[in-house]
Amino acid sequence: MSKVVNLNKARKQRQRDAKRRAADSNAVKFGRTKSEKAKDQAEAEKAERNLDGHKRE
């Protein structure tokens, strides 16, 4: 004899799993670590300071 399955619970669990898989793939695709973000920000600030240092008065 097979086990009785609540179809609503199975459907909702399947949707949650699909969302979790999509979120994980997006995190790999678009996510960056905190150190990567800080490095990019530091480089942008350095470039801005360098540009300001070359401005004519």
d(CA 22, CA 2): 32
pLDDT of 55 higher than 90: no
Structure tokens, 35: 């150190």
Tell me the pLDDT tens digit for each residue of 4-35: 999 999 999 999 999 999 999 999 889 888 99
d(CA 20, CA 28): 12
* Ramachandran area for residue 49 (φ above 0: left; ψ -120 to 50: alpha; else beta): alpha
Position 54 scores a pLDDT of: 84
Confidence tier at 57 by pLDDT (50, 70, 90): confident
Q: What is the pTM of this model?
A: 0.53
pLDDT of 1 higher than 90: no
pLDDT of 43 higher than 80: yes
Helix locations, 1-57, DSSP H? 7-30, 34-53
